[in-house]
Structure 1
Amino acid sequence: MSEFRVLQMAPPIEHQIKAMIALLKRYNWSRFGVVTSKMAGSKQFLKAVQELVTSNDDRSFKMKLVHHEQIDESSDEMGHIEKRLQALRNSEARIILLYSTTQRVRKIFEVAEKLGLLSEKYLWIGTQSVKGSMTTAIPPIQHGMLTINFHTLSNAMFPPADDVLPLIIGLAPKVSFTTYLCITVLNYKKL
């Protein structure tokens, strides 16, 4: 046992994986791939995904991990990344769970863009560490990429500035009322 105590402020990776798997189930995405950066926790990430897939007791929805690549983007040789991502491209995976960091994913996405893996044919779902903040999103990125994000700030009662959900929720009543008003006016004119 270590003499040091570690307090993790981010949600455990298991919670993030459960959220990813719940998303797969919600949209009936049963076949998927996994891409991990060669970094601390990548083996645990893959193992936890495999365990959740194996323990899935929903008989109507069988998940299958169809491909996995571990990428060492610290290598100066871009050929390594290209070889790994080419194998991913040749697989049947179109939904890709991604375990990396904002900095590491840049090299991966540079090559993925060249191979067409950032097109509308693919959906990448990243862990919270992939997201970073809106100010660190530097191209290339996949438009529409999903990331698992838990509000873990001390002021977690208030959403961060880059969270669009409160904006959508705030606009919903206005849009609904405007729609109702338009329908009422149209019906009135018919009379």
Structure 2
Amino acid sequence: MKFLLFCHLCFLGGIWATLRSSIIRESVRNSPKPNITFGVILPRSLLITVTRSYGKRLGESFQAFTDSKQLKYTFKDYYRISTPPVANMSLNPSPTEILNTLCNIVVKRDVVAILYFTNSEIYGSNAASVQYLLQLTTYMGIPVIAWNADNIGVEQRVSGSRILQLAPSMEHQAAAMLSILKRYLWHQFSIVTTLIGGHDDFVRAVRDIVLESTEFKFNILDIFVLKGKTRDEIRTELESLKNSDARVILLYVTKDEGSNIMGAANDLGITGKNYMWIATQSAVGSGIVNYAPSDFPIGML
């Protein structure tokens, strides 16, 4: 009898809680809702078709987010989502352009979050600009949801950082490369990189995985940070690699740098069947029309 009474009271309590929740939600719907504003920073393009494509996709996403009945976001009952202000910046903005964008658009409109997207085929050249932008947003306490695959090596470990990076991280690519080595039982390898943005992060990511690997022992023979610009200068720097025992090389460079490096490596005879070069995405670039440079040897990963 007590058990039945307990269940009955729980049932009544559940009804009361449901009715009370409905009443509160209805009262909130009828009351003025505070605004929530998301800001969007997009790359500036001289092509009108690209600009219109950005605007159309942004409008469709905003409408689907706010009007769709399939998206059950309860916070929409308490807040009104405003049309997002859009800021355009060049792919390699100056510090002044970044400051003007943040001060004149972001801060003035009380933006509470920034969605930062780039779809650039230029790798590493604007790393300093991206770093400066993300650091400023961190100091201002503005959360950032970022997709910038062209700068996956940009340092994200800023104190108090509120950056959510959605693009494949440096750690992901390093783990994928080392998984290939593990698959074919290649224990020894060397790293070749340049002063491309994030090269230190790439080396650190590889080292972290090597240190954490207990079942399979890796051995980093050498780390070459090339500073030469011409093919002859690079060939001179790669002489040490030729004289080493390295037969597997991990490459983190830009597309133009990769073409010169692999051309110099081919001149030295270290791209034949006894060598395996494994490159990151930055060496090939992004986009459907992109292809590997002709200097890249057959069989290169």
- Superposition TM-score tier, normalisation by shorter sequence: 0.5 to 0.7
Measure the CA separation in 1 of the matches of 2:220 and 2:238.
16
Pairs within 5 Å for 1:108-187: 108-132=261-285, 135-146=290-301
Shift in CA distance, 6/118, structure 1 to aligned 2, threshold 3 Å: farther
Residues 47-82 of structure 1 deviation map (CA, whole Å, 9 limit, x = unaligned): 111121112111xx3110011111124x34x44312
Shift in CA distance, 39/6, structure 1 to aligned 2, threshold 3 Å: farther
Contact in 1 for aligned 2:284/2:290 (Cα 8 Å): no
Give the root-mean-square deviation of aligned CA atoms: 1.9
Contact in 1 for aligned 2:232/2:264 (Cα 8 Å): no
Alpha-carbon shift at residue 110 of structure 1 (Å)? 1.5
Measure the CA separation in 2 of the matches of 1:100 and 1:55.
25
Task: For residue 34 of structure 1, give the secondary structure of its aligned residue in structure 2.
Answer: strand
Task: For residue 222 of structure 2, give the secondary structure of its aligned residue in structure 1.
Answer: strand
**Counterpart selection for 1:80 from 220, 227, 233:** 233
**Counterpart selection for 1:102 from 251, 255, 258:** 255
Measure the CA separation in 1 of the matches of 2:181 and 2:250.
10
Task: Output the amino acid matched with 1:57.
Answer: T
Task: Output the amino acid matched with 2:222.
Answer: H
Task: Tell me the TM-score normalized by structure 2.
Answer: 0.44
Q: Specify the alignment match of 2:174 in structure 1.
A: 17
Q: Specify the alignment match of 1:68 in structure 2.
A: 223
Larger radius of gyration: 2
Contact in 2 for aligned 1:71/1:84 (Cα 8 Å): yes
Pairs within 5 Å for 1:27-42: 27-42=184-199
Alpha-carbon shift at residue 136 of structure 1 (Å)? 3.4
Task: Output the amino acid matched with 1:102.
Answer: K
**Runs (4+) of structure 1 moved beyond 4 Å?**
none
Measure the CA separation in 1 of the matches of 2:277 and 2:212.
23
Alpha-carbon shift at residue 135 of structure 1 (Å)? 4.2
Task: For residue 57 of structure 1, give the secondary structure of its aligned residue in structure 2.
Answer: coil
**Counterpart selection for 1:3 from 129, 132, 137:** 137
Measure the CA separation in 2 of the matches of 1:37 and 1:115.
19
Contact in 2 for aligned 1:101/1:129 (Cα 8 Å): yes
Measure the CA separation in 1 of the matches of 2:218 and 2:178.
9
Shift in CA distance, 86/6, structure 1 to aligned 2, threshold 3 Å: farther
